[in-house]
Amino acid sequence: MLTKPIEKTRINKPSSIFALLKTASIDENRQSWKWQLDNAITSISYLAEYFGIPESSAILETIKKYPVRTVPYYLALADRNDPSDPIRQQILPHPDETGVYSDFVPDPFKENFSPCSYLVHRYPNRVLCVLTDICAVKCRHCTRKNLLGTSRSRSESEIDAIISYIGNNVRIHEVIVSGGDPLVLETEMLDDFLGRIRKIKHVSVIRIGSRIPVTLPMRIDANLCDVLKKHAPIWFNTHFNHARELTKEAKLACAMLVDSGIPVSNQTVLLKNVNDSFESLAELFDSLVSNRVRPYYLFQCDPVSGTGHFKVELEKGIKLMEQLKSNLGGLSIPNFVADLPNTAGKTRLA
């Protein structure tokens, strides 16, 4: 059952973002993933105070459609005095999110039209399970920013329906556990779900898609690693977009996963004003390899409404890949791909 609430650790949220971050810097709170989630910042007033910006009417209009959320840990990584800071760009809403961009639509991959609620079956041999709508951070470039309208996890009956669908479709060999972010769930709940999937004989591969090593790395603890190891083989895909995200906590989280026999790959999204330079990408990919994380994909930004301002022109992306191939070792070179609507699989771009 995946609906058991996480015990709340928040008492009273401070009136100032700086008071909250001071509390968050206390080691006991900084290292507690539950404290971080309980004290997630969902107020534009807090973010405006932190970054020293006005609460403009355009920003207020944007968050009506695309709310804000970040845990204190990830917010503290942003340089509040630098308007071009790459982490700031992933946290702070932008008025252009409500703009209209050609070919950018709310659900380009038709994930809402699924044979089973909260399960996406785009390809014959694999499915994606949306176990929760909750994330540690609402990334401004999120592929599902128009689809995750609630703040809840799946009910017992919804999970039963997902398990039943997978069990009754023998062509399904691979299950991708996603969200939201599935690792915001209690470890016991993940253990139960993974155990039920493992009992389905025709499922040979389980993948977990999670940004937790980036946004909430203290969530990766010994108990969680033991559970993932128990249900091996588990393949883990995460999502670092900038080398600044590879903190000592993030590096430790990746090391714990790899040391537990769980291969970790990374899927970076090419984002305008975040990582669209050779220097940014080269530093990120080399740093990932140094920490035993495979740079697997560099994605062209998905054509999702609300993300058009992040689009990098394809010609620039191809040029960046040429530079990377000329200057980095083979292990540091990801596949540059796009996930295009109405196509079977990812399309290699360079």
pLDDT in tens, 15-63: 789 999 999 888 888 899 999 999 999 999 999 999 999 999 999 999 9
Q: What is the mean pLDDT of residues 324-348?
A: 88
User: Are the CB atoms for 122 and 108 separated by under 8 Å?
Assistant: no
Asked if residue 262 has pLDDT above 50, the reply is yes
Catalytic residue from among 122, 196, 272, 294: 122
Choosing from 142, 225, 254, 301, the catalytic residue is: 142
Q: Residue 346's pLDDT band (boundaries 50, 70, 90)?
A: confident
Cβ neighbours of 109 (radius 10 Å) = 20
Model pLDDT for residues 139-156, shown as the tens digit of each residue:
999 988 877 666 789 999
Q: Is the pLDDT of residue 287 over 50?
A: yes
DSSP 110: -
d(CA 81, CA 76): 12
Residue 329 confidence (pLDDT): 97
Q: What is the mean pLDDT of residues 200-228?
A: 98
123 is catalytic: yes
Closest C-alpha among 185, 86, 189 to residue 139: 86
pLDDT above 60 for 197? yes
Query: Known catalytic residue: 346?
Result: yes
Given 123, 171, 319, 325, the catalytic residue: 123
pLDDT at 223: 98
100-128 mean pLDDT: 78
Site of tokens 């990801």? 334
Window from 6-10, 162-166, 223-227, 248-252 with minimum mean pLDDT? 6-10
Distance between CA atoms of residues 243 and 334, nearest Å: 15
Look at residue 342 in the predicted model and tell me its pLDDT. 67
The Cα angle at residue 42 between residues 41 and 48, in degrees rounded to 5: 80
Does residue 10 have an active-site annotation?
no
Structure tokens at 195: 């155990």
Torsion of CA 323, 327, 333, 337, to 10 degrees: 0
User: Is 116 assigned a catalytic role?
Assistant: no
* Residue bearing the bigger pLDDT, 10 or 59: 59
Estimate to the nearest angstrom the gap between the alpha carbon of 6 and the chain centroid.
20
Task: State the average pLDDT for the chain.
Answer: 92
Instruction: Respond yes or no: is residue 69 known to be catalytic.
Output: no
Question: Is it the case that residue 2 has pLDDT exceeding 60?
Answer: no
Question: Model pTM greater than 0.85?
Answer: yes
Mean of the pLDDT values across residues 6-20? 68
For residue 105, pLDDT over 80 is answered with: no
3-state secondary structure of 92: coil
**Could you give the C-alpha distances from 266 to 42, 254, 292, in angstroms and in order?**
27, 11, 10
What pLDDT is recorded for position 151?
75
pLDDT at residue 11, as a whole number: 47
Distance of alpha carbon 73 from alpha carbon 91, whole angstroms: 12
Q: How confident is the model over 100-119, as a mean pLDDT?
A: 71
Residue 175's pLDDT is 98
Q: Is 110 a catalytic residue?
A: no
Catalytic residue list contains 152: no
More confident residue, 342 or 181: 181
pLDDT value at residue 144: 83
Report the number of secondary-structure helices (H) and strands (E) in the chain.
Answer: 14, 9
Higher-pLDDT residue of 222 and 4 is 222
Scanning the structure block, which residue is given the tokens 């050609």? Answer: 102
Which position among 69, 133, 135, 140 bears the catalytic label?
Answer: 135
Q: Is residue 82 annotated as part of the catalytic site, yes or no?
A: no
Question: Tell me, what's the pLDDT at 122?
Answer: 85
Distance CA 146, CA 20 (A): 29
The predicted structure's pLDDT at residue 107: 64
Q: What are the start-end ranges of the H helices in the chain?
A: 17-24, 27-30, 33-38, 44-51, 57-65, 72-75, 86-91, 156-167, 187-198, 212-215, 222-230, 248-259, 278-290, 314-327
Output the pLDDT for position 152.
83
CATH architecture of 119-348: Alpha-Beta Barrel (3.20)
Do the bridges between strand 264-270 and strand 234-238 make them parallel or antiparallel, or are there none, so unpaired? parallel
Delimit the CATH 3.20.20.70 region(s) of the chain.
119-348
